[in-house]
Structure 1
Amino acid sequence: MAVLEKGIWNEQKEIADLSFEDSFNSHIESTAGRYHLYMSYACPFAHRPLLVINYLGLNDAISFSSVAAKRYSDGWLFDDQNPDPIYEQQNLAALYLRAKADYTGRVTVPVLWDRLNNTIASNDSSNLAMELATNWLSMATNKVELVPSNLKGDIERLNSWLHQNVNRKVYHVGFAKSQHEYDSANDTLFNALTELDETLSKSNYLHGSVITLSDLFLLPTLVRFEAVYEVHFKANKKPLKAFTHLYRYMLDLLNVESIRATIEIEHMKEHYYFSHAHINPHRIIPAGPEITW
């Protein structure tokens, strides 16, 4: 993945090649209309804060838009179907440079843009989802505690585990460069899915009978599994449907309209199959599979 280095786009460097990476950690004020979320309907990490916004009903307080599905050598782009609604920029890198002209690091989604200060308030999906779930309830139309105080520690621990063993691990499977690397990541991923299936055999959701932030961390990976990960990433040791409790759980969450509304399967497929030319060099986007839910 290319990076910006002191404000210059470098297609040849990876994040590991940089001696440091700039970060954006501004205090986020719970002020309606101040922020805009730039996300991607393809990206499971950007899906986290989008799910929080939609599920809690923060849509009138925080606007959002997606980048284009297809990604080229110059990173995330905007197009006619997915324009930049604020500055009419051509790519996401321009927003990073607007925030910091000599920015060094990856150009990633999500981006929470601060309209008041014309800068990036946050580009950390985990922290941003937690911030929105805990500090914006006063503006929510669906005032659900996604992080109940008595479960906060458990939620944070499980979110971290999900991030390492499921959300990111499926990428380790798909981007493996050796059989050993693939086998190791694949085993970790499917062991984690087996553990989650066992947990969900005893409860409706990850922390009992109510939806919490942990469920909104797991769901983005699950809804991409059949359409993308099982084929494109070769994460097919077992089909997702074989995890009967996990699959039932996914379908239950998808019955919530505000959750289902955040999912764009064709956008996901177009992004993954087109953008990962090192996996799919002819960039052919498959007609299937048929998603029955």
Structure 2
Amino acid sequence: TLEIPTSDYRFVDNRQDFLDAVSEIGIPCVVKPIMSSSGKGQSTIKRDADIESSWTYAQEGGRAGAGRVIVEGFVDFDYEITLLTIRHIDGISFCLPIGHRQEDGDYQESWQPQPMSDVALKRAKEIAEKVTSALGGRGIFGVELFIKGDHVYFSEVSPRPHDTGMVTMISQDLSQFALHSRAILGLPIPNIRQHGPSASAVVLVEGESNNVRFGNLQAAVAEADTQLRLFGKPEVSGKRRMGVALARAEDIEQAREKATRAAAAVTTEL
């Protein structure tokens, strides 16, 4: 084992083992499919009445279909970060920590850098290096961590560019996508330069359509140091992230407000 701090957890393969795990870990606890994205299949059990629906949702929402899930003890964290970790030809590099806010397990906004103590950042890097070294390979890894004071707990890892890392398209001279490509191709990765406090906010569309159209784009990018990326997804069923607004400012709070305004300015026609 890597002997890194985590919440208490159990892997379960059937309903009875799931019920036993919830009983052992206690409520509240978090339930996740072992493979999912954008929070699909993930839920928090806050009371006994949530147990059955949480199991059903995990079985329906996993990227690999029904099967194994993980039950995790709830961590009372101060904030959570993504530490983008790059394994490349010359070793391991880190981007500055990215803070983010989620709703129902799905990213809504992110910002960089996330303020944190030197002790916590050092521990975060140590954990990220252990995890990514155990996985091996080259490329960028989105290592998610819970922070409570100076204590750091490993949450999960994505062996690819991370949704919260889209902020790097405006915050850094080399975005997470450029870093991933360089690492895979064996190209050098120099010092990563920061452009200043930056933030991202998702353009979320809700409804049913196979011909989504966007409007009011001039207003969305009217402020200085603001960008908009629409993903080109033609259809939506329910809720779907269809783009991201990016902003840079004098401090993180201003950057978050600017990115949120830009995302909110985008109109959609279904």
Scaled by the length of structure 1, the TM-score of the pair is: 0.25
More strand by share: 2
More helix by share: 1
Scaled by the length of structure 2, the TM-score of the pair is: 0.26
Larger relative contact order (Cα-Cα within 8 Å, sequence gap ≥ 6):
1
